């Protein structure tokens, strides 16, 4: 099972998502927790790599298991603030974009249960 750290960055009722350009779906920023890292440390590192900015990890929003085909992962989810005003992905296969939280039901966010967790948390 893979261990993933995900950040929920909210500004003005909008949440920051990353898009996998080759396939079109969106996901919450973050990535794999490396050996010896806590999820919080991994999340700060991943956001620095993806967006070239500093992040402050806040409230733990929960853990979410996700499985598809033969793949399984556990996502550690945190509220996060970033110091980047207009985030742009540093990775050529990804794009960054803001989405209104109330519109997440119509956005292809994966895993879907994570988007639902964020909507429930925001209310």
CATH number of the structural domain spanning residue 43: 3.90.79.10
Mean pLDDT throughout 2-17?
Answer: 96
The rounded mean pLDDT for the chain is 93
- Domain of 101 in residue numbering reads as 2-122
CA–CA distance, 69 with 43 (Å, rounded to integer) = 25
0.85 exceeded by pTM: yes
pLDDT tens per residue, range 63-87: 999 887 787 999 999 999 999 889 9
The whole-angstrom separation of Cα 26 and Cα 19 is 4
Single out the residue of 19, 51, 46 nearest to residue 32, CA to CA.
46
For residue 16, the cross-strand partners are 98
Q: Are 71 and 31 in contact (CB under 8 A)?
A: no
Give the helix/strand (H/E) hosting 42: helix 39-51
Number of domains comprising the chain: 1
């Amino acid at each position: 099972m893979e261990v993933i750290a995900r950040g929920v960055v909210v500004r003005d009722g909008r949440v920051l998502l990353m898009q996998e350009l080759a396939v079109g779906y969106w996901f919450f920023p973050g990535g794999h927790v490396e050996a010896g890292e806590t999820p919080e440390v991994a999340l700060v590192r991943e956001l620095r790599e993806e967006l070239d900015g500093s992040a402050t990890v806040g409230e733990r929003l929960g853990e979410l298991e996700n499985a598809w085909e033969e793949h399984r992962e556990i996502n550690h989810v945190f509220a996060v603030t970033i110091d980047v005003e207009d985030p742009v992905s540093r990775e050529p296969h990804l794009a960054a974009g803001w989405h209104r939280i109330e519109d997440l039901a119509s956005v292809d966010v994966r895993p879907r249960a994570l988007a639902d967790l964020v909507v429930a948390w925001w209310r």
